[in-house]
Structure 1
C-alpha cells in the first residue's frame, strides 16, 4: 500500500453482524452477543450499541449466536452463511409471574464500552425527576453539582465535552446550554476517569453525545423559569430542532434576569505592630443584570458515519451591576461595579467514515468593567478611588485525529491539536484620594499550546480491552516555556456479562486563568484586597483509579491523585499593614486518596433511589506560603441520598440529602455542610407540558462557614445568610413531528 501501512486490515462488507430489537421493533442497547463455533467453542463477544447493532471481527461458519439481556429472554441462533445485510433478531421481554405479582427485569444501569461508563439519559429520566440534560447528568453515579460546577468522586477536576470534543463554553454557559437541551436529544453520556487523547482533554470527563439527524423530524420547547433566593429572578428560553435524513438544524436562545444577594460576616483578629486589632465587618453584596445566550448549529450527514457540523455560540451581558456595602467597627465602605461582556464562538467539525476527525474553532471575548470605592475608616481618615479595566481575548484552535483498525483487533490512533490565544488586559486607576497603593497594569500575552499524541488499543475476544497512549505538549506564554509528556492507560476487564473491572491512569497539566496571572491589585472594601500573581505556574496532576461494577449497576471506586504546584486562593493577614490579602498561589502539592460507593435501589415503578458515599484523605502542603508554611492532613466523608417517588403516571416527588464532614483548604478550616432539598413534578396536556417546583437547602445549612486558626492568623467567615432557594420551571414541548411517507404519483407516462 502506498501509505506504507501494509498491516491495515479493512473489514469486509459482509461480516457476522446483526440488529437486536424488541417486540415493538425498537432497538435494544446493551445486549451481550456471544459468538460460538457449532461445537460450542467460545470465539468472541460483542455488545449492541444504541441502534441495537452488533458486529464480530472474526468470521466462523457455521456458528452460533447467544443473545443475552437481563430484561429479555435468552435466544440462541444458528448461522451457516454470511448475511448480505444485517439480520434483525427479536427478543421477548422476560417476565416472571407469581400469582398476581408480575416482576419485570430492569434495564442495566450502566454499559461499559471500551472503558467508558455509558448511560442512557432517556432511560435515566424515566426513573429520576429530571427536566433536561444538565439535571440528568447530575444524577449519574459519583457526579455532584454545586453552584453550577460539576465534579466526579475521586477526580481532581471534571471536564464536560460535547460529541467527543472540548467546548470553549465556561461553566455557566455550558450549564445554560445543557439546561436547554431536552434529554431526548442526547444519545448517551459517557463517564471516563481517563479520557482518551482524541477527545483533547485529560483526566476525568463526561462526553455528552447528541443524536445525529436521521429522519424528518421537528421538535422544540419553550421554558419559563423563576427563582427566589432573597431576590426574585427568572427568565425565558426556547429551543428548536428540525432534521431530515441529510440535514439537521438546532437553535437555542435564553434571556435570564440575574439577581443575587449574599452577605458575609467576618471577624479578623489581626496582629500588627505588636498590637491585636479586633476587626469585625458585615458585607452585603448585590448583583443584577441580564444575560443572553444564543446557539445555532447546522449539520449535514454525508452518510451514517460521515458528518459535518457548523455551530455558533454567542453570550452577552450588556450591563451587569453590583454593589458591595460593608459596615463594622473598622470601616464604612461602599463599592459600585459595572461590567459588560460579549463572547462569540464559531466552530466547524468534520467526522469521516475512514476514522478521520478534524475541526477548527475561533473565540472572541471582550469585557469592560469599572468600579468606584469609597471608605470611611473608624479612626477618621478616608479613601476614594475609581478603577477602569478591560480584557480582550482572541483564541484559535485546530485539531485532527486519525484511527486505523489493524490486524488481530488492534487499533492505532494519532493526532494533534494547536491552540493560540492572544489576551490583552488593562487596569487603570483614576481619581485616587487618600493613602492607597495603586498600580496601573497592562498585559499583552501570547499563549501557544501544541499537542501530539499516539494511542494503541486492543480489544480481546473475551470483551475486555486495553488502551495506552502518550501525549507530548509544548506550552509557551510570555517568557515561560515548557515541554511535557502525559502518559495514559486504561484497562477494562470483562469478568462476565454483568460484572466489570476498570483501571485508569491519567496525567494532566492545569493552567491558571488569564486574570490570575496579572500583577494587578483590586479592592473588595477598605480592608480586603485581591492580588494577582504574575509568577503562577501550571499545576501537574497524576490520577489513578480502579472501578468495580457489579451486576451492571453497583459501583465501587478506589482512587489516588497527586497534584504538584497546585494553585488556590487563600487569605492572609498582612504583617506589614492592616489588610486582608486574597492571592492565588502555588502550593508544593495537594494529594488525595479514598473510595466512593454508588448503590441504586428501586421498588417497582413507584420508587427509585440512589445512595452515594465518598471517603477521602486530604494532604496539602506549601512551604512558601508567606511566613507561615503549612502541611495539613484531614479525613473527609460525603454522603448523598436521592429518593424519587412516582404517584400515578403524571406526578412525581423527590427528596434528597447531601452531607459533607468538616474539611480543609490550605489554611482554611471548613465546617460540615448539610443540604436537604425537595421537589415535585407534574406533566399534563398529554405529556407536552411540565411544571416543576424545587426547594433547595431547606435548613439553610448548605453554605460553608470557614475559619483560619493557624500560626497567629485568626479569621472567622460566615456567608451562610439566606442560601435557601425556591425555583419553578414551566415547559411546553412543540412538534415531535415526523414526516409520513407520501403516496408516490406514477409519472412514468408523463412527458415526451
Structure 2
C-alpha cells in the first residue's frame, strides 16, 4: 500500500524549482553539531554556489533540515525532500562525501539532528564527472567546521508536531576524540501516523469511476550510525562506518468509497457503489558497512581515496485489498473480491571505488577514478485473487530476480588559466550489464531480460570573474537515470479493483543533457538560465480502456511505469541573498519562470501487451515560481528570532497532466537561552499545499487526482547541547554503495 500511495504522492514532485518524493525505508545518519550564523555570504565558485554560515546563533537549535530550507536555491514543497532549482532531486553530501541514506532515512535524520557545527553549505547544480550521481540530480554539500581539541561533546533533541495526528521524535548524538582516534554515534527514534485524503476520477463517455477516501499509515522508526576514524600517521587515515535504519508500518489502512458508472449492451447507464478496504503490514531494515582509506600524498592537497561497502536491504510486506458491495449511502453489503499480496524485497550490494586526485603548483588538478557495483535483488511475490460472487480463486506467483553489474571510470582536468578565468573538463565511461528473470507464466517475454550498454558522459564548465563584483559561469553535463529496483519488479500495486499501478521490467535507463549559464553580481544577486533535455524519461503513465464483462462496459485505469518519450525544461531564475537593517533582517528571495515541453505517447501495457486508448502529451506550459525565506532578529541580544517563509509554484504541464498551482506560508519563533533552544512554528498556515492533477485526451477520456497530505502542522522542539564544543569531527566517508542505495526506494 505504501508504495502505491507514495507513487501517487510523487505526482507533486515533477516540477523543478520547488520540490517533492517517494517514501522509502532505510539508513544512515550524519551528525552535525552547533551552527552559528551571523553573516550570510553567498558566492559563486567555478562549479558551485557557496553559502557561508558565520558566527551567529540564528540557526542554533534548528534542525539541519530547517537550515537547508534557508539556503539559497534549496527548497521543499512536501516537507520531506530537498530540491535544487531546476533539479528533480538533491543529493546530500557531508564534507564532500555522499551521505549513506535513501529518502526516508535522510528525511528522518535531517529533521531530528540539530544543525550544529556547519561552516558552509555548497550547492552544486551541475555535478562534474567525478560525482556518481544520476540523471539531473544536484548536490548539497555540507561542510563542517574543523575542531582540534580532544574531548567529548553531544546534544539531545526532543520534538513534537501536530496535524491530523500527533508525531514525536527524539535523538541523541555523541562525539569523542582522543589523540588519533575519533568516534561518533547517533541514535534517532520517531513515531508518526501519516494521514492523506484522495479524490480520484477517471473515465470516458461510456464508463467512469470516482473514488474518495483516506489513507492512514502508522510508522515507527529507529536508526543511527557509528563512525570510527583512526589516523595511521600524518598522511593516512582509516575509517569504518556502520549505518542502520529500521521502519515498521503495521495496520496501514486505505478506505475508499467508489462510484462506478457503466453501460449495458442497450446503452443504458448503470451506477454501482462499492467500498475498498486496504490493509497492510510492512517492515524494512537497511544496514550498510563501509571501510575507507585515505592517503594524503603532498601538501598541495593530492590524495588517494579508496572505499569498500556492503549494503543489505530487507523489506517484508503483506497486504489485502477487499471490494465490498455498497449502496449510495456507503452502507456495506457483501464482500465481492479480495486480493491478497505478499511482496518481499531483498537487496544485496557490494561496491568499491577509488579516486586519485593530483594537484600541481601551476593550479592544475587532475582526478581519475573508478567504481564497481554488483547488486542482486530478489522479489518472491505471491498474489491470490478471490471472487466471492463466483467462488473463483486465482493464484499468480512471480519470483523476479534482478542482477546488475556497473563498471565506471572517470577523468577530470581542472585548470586556473588566469586570475579571472578557470575551467574544468571531464568524462565518465560506464558499462552496465543486467539480467532480470521471472517465473511469471502469463508473459514468456520477460522470463529473461538481459541488457548490456555502454555510456560516455562528458562534462564541461568554466568560470570567468569579470571583476570583484561580476561573475559569469557555464556548465554542460550528461547523465543517466537508471530505474529503481522496485520499478523493474513486474508486480501490481492495487488501489481499487479497476485502478492499480503496474511496474515494468522493460524500463530502460534514460538520459539527461543539461546546459546552465549563471551570472552573479556582488555575491548577492544572481541570474540562472537552464536548459535540460530528457530522453526516454522514466515516469508513470495513466492508461485507460473500456472493459466489457458480462455485457457491461467498465472503465479500467493502469498507471504504467515506462519510458515516456522526451521532455525539455527551460528556466530563468532571478534571486538575491542579502541582509538589511544591520543584520536584523536576512532575506533569501528567488523568482523565475519555467517552460516545459512534453513529447510522449503510449497505448500499450509493455508488461502484458494489452491495448489501451492512446495517452498523448505533447503540451507545453510556462509557469511562475516564487520562493522567499526571511529571518528577523527581534532583540539586540540575538536570543529571539522570527522566521517567515513562503513559496508559490504556478500550474504547469508535467508528464501525466496539468499540475495545478501550489503554495505554502510557514512561520516559526525561536528562543535561545544559554545551551537551550526552544522553537515553535506552524507550516502551511493557509492550507494551500494540496496536489491536484488533471488530464484530458482528444477521445474524451479524463483523469483527475487530488491528494491532501494535511501539510498544516504545529511544531515545538527543545534542544540541549553539552560537552566540549571544540571536539574535532570524525571524518565523514562516502560509501562505495551510495549510488546504489538511492535506487532501493
TM surpasses 0.5:
yes
Structure 1: runs of 5 or more not aligned: 1-105, 740-752
Counterpart of 1:309 in structure 2 is: 239
Compute the displacement of 1:406 (Å): 4.1
Residues 366-400 of structure 1: CA distance to partner in whole angstroms, max 9, x if unpaired?
Answer: 11110012112459771012111211101111110
Structure 1 residue 334 corresponds to structure 2 residue 277? yes
**Residues 83, 89 of structure 2: 8 Å contact kept:** yes
Counterpart of 2:313 in structure 1 is: 365
Counterpart of 2:32 in structure 1 is: none
Structure 1 residue 448 corresponds to structure 2 residue 405? yes
Compute the displacement of 1:500 (Å): 1.8
Counterpart of 2:716 in structure 1 is: 728
Counterpart of 2:568 in structure 1 is: 591
CA distance 1:568–1:327, shift in 2 (3 Å): same
**Residues 130, 136 of structure 1: 8 Å contact kept:** no
**Residues 386, 394 of structure 2: 8 Å contact kept:** no
Counterpart of 2:185 in structure 1 is: 251
Counterpart of 1:144 in structure 2 is: 75
Counterpart of 2:358 in structure 1 is: 404
Paired residue secondary structure (2:82):
strand
Paired residue secondary structure (2:207):
strand
Residues 539-559 of structure 1: CA distance to partner in whole angstroms, max 9, x if unpaired?
Answer: 101111111121112121110
Structure 2: runs of 5 or more not aligned: 1-37, 260-272, 298-302, 328-333, 436-449, 548-553, 605-613, 728-745
**Residues 490, 504 of structure 2: 8 Å contact kept:** yes
1:536 to 502, 507, 517: 507
**Residues 213, 301 of structure 1: 8 Å contact kept:** no
Equivalences for residues 371-450 of structure 1 within 5 A: 371-377=319-325, 382-406=336-360, 408-430=362-384, 432-434=386-388, 439-450=396-407
Equivalences for residues 442-481 of structure 1 within 5 A: 442-478=399-435, 479-481=450-452
Counterpart of 1:165 in structure 2 is: 97
2:706 to 718, 721, 731: 718
- CA distance, structure 1, for counterparts of residue 423 and residue 394 of structure 2: 58
Counterpart of 1:634 in structure 2 is: 621
1:120 to 47, 52, 64: 52
Counterpart of 1:601 in structure 2 is: 578
Structure 1 residue 621 corresponds to structure 2 residue 621? no
Residues 567-596 of structure 1: CA distance to partner in whole angstroms, max 9, x if unpaired?
Answer: 112323233353221221211111111111
**Residues 440, 520 of structure 1: 8 Å contact kept:** no
Moved more, 327-336 or 623-632: 623-632
Counterpart of 1:697 in structure 2 is: 684
- CA distance, structure 1, for counterparts of residue 647 and residue 507 of structure 2: 34
Equivalences for residues 94-109 of structure 1 within 5 A: 107=39, 109=41
1:344 to 287, 291, 313: 287
1:675 to 664, 687, 697: 664
CA distance 1:263–1:557, shift in 2 (3 Å): same
Compute the displacement of 1:196 (Å): 2.8
**Residues 261, 286 of structure 1: 8 Å contact kept:** yes
Give the paired residue count.
628
Paired residue secondary structure (2:496):
coil
Structure 1 residue 228 corresponds to structure 2 residue 206? no
Please, what is the CA RMSD of the aligned residues? 2.4
Counterpart of 2:116 in structure 1 is: 184
1:564 to 535, 555, 568: 535
**Residues 425, 444 of structure 1: 8 Å contact kept:** yes
**Residues 494, 500 of structure 1: 8 Å contact kept:** yes
Residues 95-131 of structure 1: CA distance to partner in whole angstroms, max 9, x if unpaired?
Answer: xxxxxxxxxxx956124444332222355x7556871
- CA distance, structure 1, for counterparts of residue 255 and residue 204 of structure 2: 21
Counterpart of 1:574 in structure 2 is: 545
Counterpart of 1:545 in structure 2 is: 516
- Which protein shows a greater Rg? 1
Counterpart of 1:290 in structure 2 is: 220
**Residues 127, 608 of structure 1: 8 Å contact kept:** no
**Residues 213, 246 of structure 1: 8 Å contact kept:** no
- CA distance, structure 2, for counterparts of residue 436 and residue 156 of structure 1: 43
Compute the displacement of 1:675 (Å): 0.8
**Residues 565, 588 of structure 1: 8 Å contact kept:** yes
**Residues 558, 594 of structure 1: 8 Å contact kept:** yes
- CA distance, structure 2, for counterparts of residue 552 and residue 308 of structure 1: 38
Residues 243-265 of structure 1: CA distance to partner in whole angstroms, max 9, x if unpaired?
Answer: 24522211111111021111112
Q: Report 1 or 2 for greater relative contact order, CA contacts < 8 Å, sequence distance ≥ 6.
A: 2
Counterpart of 1:267 in structure 2 is: 201
